[in-house]
Homo-oligomer: A and B are copies of this chain.
Amino acid sequence: MQVVKDEELMIDTKGGVTSPKGFQAGGMFCGIRKKKLDLGYIYSSVPATAAGVYTLNQFRAAPLLVTKESIEQDKKLQAILVNSGIANACTGEAGLQDAYEMRNVFAEALKLSPHYVGVASTGVIGVALPMDRIVEGANDIVKPDHLGVEKFQEAILTTDTCVKHISVECEIDGNKVVIGGAAKGSGMIHPNMATMLGFVTTDAKIDYKNLDFALRNVTNNTFNMITVDGDTSTNDMVLVLANGEAENNPLTVNHPQWHVFQQALNKVCSELAKKIARDGEGATKLIEVIVKNAPTKQSAQIIGKSIISSNLVKAAMYGADANWGRIVSAIGNSGVKINPSSLKVSLGPIEVVSKGLPIPFSEEEAKLYLLQEDISIIVNLGIGEEKATAWGCDLTYDYVKINASYRT
C-alpha cells in the first residue's frame, strides 16, 4: 500500500466541521445546562452521504437508535442536532419518542425530511429531556445569531475542559478535498465508543458503502483505541457526512487515491481521539502505548488496551514513577500469548526491559521523561510484524474527585 507522509496532508489545527465546502454549524444555550451552551447543530447545503458507528453497550441510548434509523432509510443526512447535559439513555419508550420529536422538530425548522436529520445527546443517564426547551431551541438555533463552528464545538461538551476539533486537506483527482471534525469525550471513554461523540464532515464525493467501510476501518484504529476509565457509555457515536462538493471522482477502494482519503480521515480521527484521551477526566498527560512486533494487529491492540486500561500503570504515570513492573504485569494479564523472553519495554527513549528482564536505567532520567505532558510506552513483543497504538491518560486525584460527585 502507498503511504502518504503526514507532511503531504495539510493539517489545520484551527479547522473543524465547517472547513469542508458546504457545511455550517452553530450552537446556543437552550436551558438544559447551567449557563453553558447545550445545543448545537451541523448542516450541509445538500444531503450528504452519511455513515455511523455506535456504542456496543447493550443499553444503547434513544438518539442512537433514531439516528441509525435515519441513516438506514436513504444513507444520507443533511443535519445533526446535538444536546449536552442529558443523555436520553435508559429512558425507555418515552425517551425514544423524545428522540424522534427532537429529530422531527429540527427537520421541520430546516424544512427537511425527518430522515435527513440525525440526533445525539450526552450527559446524565436516566433523566428525560426537557422537551419544551429542546423544541424551542431546535426552532431558534437555525437563526443567524447562533451560527458559528466554535459555538457548536462548545455546545457538545460535558465535563470536557476544552473544545476538540481539527481539519485536514488533501488533493484527490487534482481537487482540494477537506475533512473536518469535532468531538467530545472526557469520562467513560473506552474502546468501542464511550460517552464520546465524534462528528466528521467532508466535501469528498463518496458513496455510502465506501464511506461506511472507511469509517469502520479508521474508527478501529483511532476512537476504539482510546481509554479514559474503561467504561463504555450508552451514547457513543461517530457520524461522518460527505456532501460531494469537492467534485472529485467518486472515491472507492479502487480509486488510485483511496489511500490518501483514508489517511486524511485517519488523521482527523486520530487527532480527535488523542484530544479526547488527553482531556480525560482529571488527566494531566497523554499516554501513548505503541505495541510492535506482535503476531497479529488484534493482539497488539489487546495488549495496548490492557496497558492503557491499568489503573496501576495510569497512577504510576501520574506520579512519574518508572514502574515498568506494572506494564509487564498488564501485558501478562492481557490474555494474549506472548514470549516473555523476547519482550522489550521502553519509556520513550529509555529502555527498561529487555528479553523480559529489567535492565539498569537512570531513575532520574526516567522521572524527567515521565514528567512531560506527552509520554510513550513502547512495547516490542519480538514475535511478529504487526503493530498498534493505544492512547489514554493518567489516573489522578481529580479523576476521583470529578467522579465521586458527578450528579451533585
Contacts and interface: CB of A to CB of B under 8 A. Distances in A.
Interface of A: 56-59, 89-92, 124-127, 187-188, 190, 229-234, 309-312, 315-316, 318-319, 321, 323-326, 328-333, 337-338, 340, 353, 355-358, 395-397, 399-408
Nearest to A408: B321
A326 B353 CA distance: 37
A399 B314 CA distance: 12
A85 B314 CA distance: 22
A8 B85 CA distance: 53
Quickly give the copy total for this chain: 2
A231 B312 contact: yes
A319 B404 contact: yes
A266 to B, nearest CB: 26
B333 A90 contact: no
B90 A312 contact: no
A38 to B, nearest CB: 19
Contacts of A331: 58-59
A321 B92 contact: no
15 contacts: A57-B329, A57-B332, A90-B325, A92-B356, A125-B329, A126-B358, A127-B358, A187-B312, A229-B312, A231-B311, A231-B330, A319-B404, A319-B405, A321-B408, A395-B400
A403 B312 CA distance: 6
Nearest to A334: B58
Nearest to A282: B400
A144 to B, nearest CB: 37
Given A57-B333, A188-B329, A309-B230, A406 B316 contact: yes
A311 B229 contact: yes
Given A126-B324, A234-B329, A356-B92, A403 B59 contact: no
A230 to B, nearest CB: 6
